[in-house]
Amino acid sequence: MSERMESVSEAGVAGDERRGGFPKVVPAQPGPNFGPFVEAMRTLQDLAVSADAPDEVFARATAQAQQLIELLEPWRAAELRSPAGRVPELPGRGSLLMVPWTMVAAGPDGVRMRGEFRRYHLGGNGAVHGGVLPLLFDDLFGFLVHFAGRAISRTGYLHVNYRKITPLYTPLEVEGTVDRVEGRKTYVSARLKDESGTLLADCEGLMVELLPWQP
């Protein structure tokens, strides 16, 4: 795969007529405190699903969480106004929904991302929850379509093969490619591996270009 990297804005498809009814996403440039804020919130997510504390500790945590809610509530923004999900250089693009992975190579030949899963992603017995892997693959497929120069597309289907247990706190890599194009349909695939090259899961999917009136 080519190591050429482009920003999301640089690789965008030409013309709004190829976006369907999808709004144009512009990368955000938040201040230097946004990245640490997102990382702190990810750690809180990990602790929320792993802490075994006395009830009074949960009561104090609830009170402090309520203070944080009150601090941020006046700044609630509409879609595409918040920087979350629009900061390409941050893991998961600064979105808590996305897994905290970073793109390391992207271009017309494919996309590669690296990262690891955290306690928040635990399914059971040390393994990543099976429902998290489709999220990783689906996010990757969106980038595949983007960097291949295809128009804005929605997911038609995903088919995931779980080959081995995917571990937490382990450096992993996922690589995806466009396999073929048929009109509005872009057929894609991806492979999730550990550092030794062991295949943990693979996925094939269909991305369908939006028609002009489709959101």
Q: What is the pLDDT of residues 77-101, one digit of tens each?
A: 998 899 999 999 999 999 999 999 9
Contact 200, 11 (CB under 8 A): no
- Other beta carbons within 10 angstroms of residue 41's beta carbon come to 13
Q: Given this model, what pLDDT does residue 42 score? A: 98
CA distance 100 to 90: 8
Q: Given this model, what pLDDT does residue 10 score? A: 44
Regions of the chain with pLDDT less than 50: 2, 5, 7-15
Contact 202, 189 (CB under 8 A): yes
Instruction: Please tell me the pTM assigned to this model.
Output: 0.89
Phi, psi (degrees; rounded to nearest 5) at 89: -80, -10
Token pair for 200: 């943990």
Q: Given this model, what pLDDT does residue 14 score? A: 39
Burial bucket for residue 3 (CB in 10 Å: 0-12, 13-18, 19+): exposed
Q: Given this model, what pLDDT does residue 122 score? A: 98
In the three-class reduction of DSSP (H, G, I as helix; E, B as strand; rest coil), residue 34 is classed as: helix
Q: Given this model, what pLDDT does residue 196 score? A: 97
CA distance 74 to 140: 33
Among candidate residues 103, 102, 104, 84, the one with its CA nearest the CA of residue 94: 84
Q: Given this model, what pLDDT does residue 3 score? A: 53
CA distance 79 to 91: 19
Q: What is the dihedral of CA 206, 207, 213, 215, to 10 degrees?
A: 110
Q: Given this model, what pLDDT does residue 23 score? A: 79
Please write the tens of the pLDDT for every residue from 114-145. Answer: 999 999 999 999 999 999 999 999 999 999 99
Contact 30, 90 (CB under 8 A): no
Q: Given this model, what pLDDT does residue 9 score? A: 42
